[in-house]
Structure formats: structure tokens, C-alpha cells
Structure 1
Amino acid sequence: MPTSTLDEYLHQLEPALRATVEALRRIILSTHAAIGEQVKWNSPSFYYRGALPASADPKQYPCDIVVLNLHRGYPLLVFPTGARIPDAAGVLEGSYPDGRRLLPIRDAAEAEAKAETLQHLLRQWLATVFDQA
């Protein structure tokens, strides 16, 4: 989905939440050129925009890296395939049968404080899932 659609989506958020999401957006997109953005599941979403391997199962959401669930008033980063990410820092929460893992970010200051850790997780995802680093 075009960036302008995500820009329009963000413009509708209350200012503090928008500032947090914009900080996360900048951090995530600056991690690697293969990361794209869209509105998916009615939320800001970031995905791998490279070629899928022939063996990839689309029902397993192979390209979805992280979706921002904003329904709590702060971003809850949902990694649909997060169980596959090596998490040496131990920041990912949850152990769900579908393999998702979570990372709550309460505000823009916390996003900035965890920027390096988040970028490391994203690079780990790229290296693990698509052999991109």
C-alpha cells in the first residue's frame, strides 16, 4: 500500500501515539532497504519486500515482519513469526502456538531507547527467515 495511505492513517492518531508510531516507523525502515511498509489488518505493518523462496507458504505470513497493534493506546509490536527470531536481549514477550512474539513500546522515548535492540531483532529476522542481513 502506498506510503501516503500510511501517512493518512497516522494523521488520524492522537498526537502522542502518532509520535511513538512515527519514531518506530523511522527506526524500522532505517534498519534495512528490504523492509517496506503498508496498512494491513487495519494497522501499520512492516514486511519483507524481497522475493519469496518457492517453498514459502503464504498461509504462514512469510513476509510479515512486524505489525503495530494500537488498540491499547500504545504500540504493541506483533512479530507474527517472532518465535523464529533469536532474542538474546530477552525483550520479546509471549509464547503463542502460532509462533508470534510481542514487544510493547509505551511511548516515543521508549522507542528511541530500544531502537538498537529493535533493529537487531529486525536484522535477526531478516537473517533467519530470508538469509538477508
Structure 2
Amino acid sequence: MAKIKLTDQELVTKHIERLPKEIQPAIEYLRQLMLSIDKNIAEQIKWNAPAFHYIGKMKSFDPKEYKQDILVMNLRKNKIMCVLPTGATLTKNTNILEGDYTDGRRLITFKDLADIKAKENDLKKVIKEWLSLVEK
């Protein structure tokens, strides 16, 4: 019998359901927030974590440049670390971008649901700036 292939959305839902109960509301809130920012943002599981990528038209690029990837969650003890693989291209200072990595990534760290809500407007600004810089 053939295996049923789950959609990216179903895979993300199942991944969240396997997380510790106390972190699930924060992850689900962040998930819905990211998806609400723009219709060209889609979700998937990447590097064993919920991730968001751009599905609109882009010029061709080397997949190792991760130009399509917007944000990948990295769930660590007592925090939600969000990696923006091309975050160094962002110039607007929202005070939530962290790190100065030579590979071009930047991080946003959240402690919990309340912290996500407190930083929600800054996160939206960061993602909207990212979308404005995408090569179309």
C-alpha cells in the first residue's frame, strides 16, 4: 500500500503537536503571524523545524544561497531562536535582529508567547523589508 504524502502544512502541524505543550501556543502564534504577513509566504519543515519561505517569482539563484528562505525556527531550551539566513541584507534597525555572522544570517530570539506579542510589530517590519528586497 502506498504511503500518503502529507502537505507542508500538515507536516508543520504534526511537528508542532510533538513539541512540549507549554511551547505549542507560542509556536502556533508565530506560525500564524508569519503566514498572515504576505500571501507569498509559505511554510515547511526545514532542518527539522518549522520554516517559512518565499513562493513568489524570483530570478534564478544558487540554492546554497538560501535566498528563498525567510525564517527558520530553532527551538532551544527556554527560547525560540529564529534564523533569517539572509538577514544581513536588512537595514532597518528594529532592535530585534541579533548577531553579526559572516555567512549573512541574523537571529531573532523570543522567550515565550508574551515576548512574541511584544515584538510582533518589529517582526512584521523586518519581514516586510525582507519581502521588499526579494529579487523579482
Using structure 1 for the length normalisation, give the TM-score: 0.92
Say whether 1:80 aligns with 2:93. no
Distance 1:59 1:46 in 2: 16
Q: 1:20 aligns with which of 26, 36, 42?
A: 26
Match of 1:109 in 2: 114
> Deviation at 1:111?
0.7
Say whether 1:30 aligns with 2:36. yes
Consecutive unaligned residues in structure 2, runs of 5 or more: 1-6
Matches within 5 A, 1:1-133: 1-54=7-60, 56-130=61-135
Q: Which has the higher contact order (CA 8 A, sep 6+)?
A: 1
The structure 1 segments of at least 4 consecutive aligned residues displaced by more than 6 Å after TM superposition are: none
**Aligned residue identity for 1:102:** L
> Deviation at 1:23?
1.0
**Aligned residue identity for 2:120:** A
Match of 2:3 in 1: none
Consecutive unaligned residues in structure 1, runs of 5 or more: none
**Aligned residue identity for 1:35:** I
Distance 1:41 1:95 in 2: 21
CA RMSD of aligned residues (A): 1.3
> Deviation at 1:11?
0.2
Give % identity: 36
> Relative to structure 2, which stretch is displaced further, 68-77 or 21-30?
68-77
Alignment length (residue pairs): 130
> Deviation at 1:40?
0.5
Using structure 2 for the length normalisation, give the TM-score: 0.90
> Does the 8 A contact of 2:99 with 2:106 survive in 1?
yes
